[in-house]
């Protein structure tokens, strides 16, 4: 089974880079691959629990929940701290992570995609 690492950097809303990265992750998760999404910088806010968006607008929390079913979502702990997010603030199934863990995932990945 292939390992694919997708690194997101942009905030959940106001730009579509993280949205497009999650769209790709979701599409890949239906294949015979293991997906890891690593949230860096403002992308850690994508994992914020309890997002409320206008009807008909995409919801990053729901997108990440669908990724968690077949893969994993990791959030940079330093980036979370810098944005005032605690472990209780992020959605269930997403995990606080570190740069050493990201480096291990990078070395073990067959492909690394950065958005």
Q: Rounded mean pLDDT of 47-53?
A: 94
pLDDT, tens digit, 9 for 90 and up, residues 89-104: 999 999 999 999 999 9
Residue with tokens 């942009």: 10
Asked if pLDDT for residue 37 goes beyond 90, the answer is yes
Q: What is the pLDDT of residue 29?
A: 87
pLDDT, tens digit, 9 for 90 and up, residues 55-73: 888 999 999 999 999 899 9
CA dihedral 57, 60, 66, 69 (to 10 degrees): -170
3-state secondary structure 48-72: ECCCCCCCCCCCHHHHHHHHHHHCE
- State the architecture of 2-97 in CATH terms: 3-Layer(aba) Sandwich (3.40)
The whole-model pTM stands at 0.95
- Could you state, in order of their start, the residue ranges of all structural domains in the chain? 2-97
Q: What is the pLDDT of residue 30?
A: 81
Q: Is 2 helix (H, G, I), strand (E, B) or coil?
A: strand
């Amino acid at each position: 089974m292939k390992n694919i690492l997708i690194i997101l950097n942009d905030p959940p809303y106001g730009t579509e880079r993280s949205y497009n990265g999650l769209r790709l992750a979701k599409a890949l998760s239906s294949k015979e691959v293991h997906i890891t999404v690593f949230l860096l910088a403002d992308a850690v806010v994508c994992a914020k629990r309890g997002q409320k968006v206008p009807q008909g607008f995409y919801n990053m929390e729901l997108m990440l929940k669908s990724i968690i079913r077949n893969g994993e979502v990791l959030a940079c702990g330093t980036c979370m701290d810098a944005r005032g997010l605690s472990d209780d603030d992020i959605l269930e199934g997403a995990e606080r992570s570190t740069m050493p863990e990201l480096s291990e995932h990078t070395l073990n990945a067959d492909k690394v995609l950065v958005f």
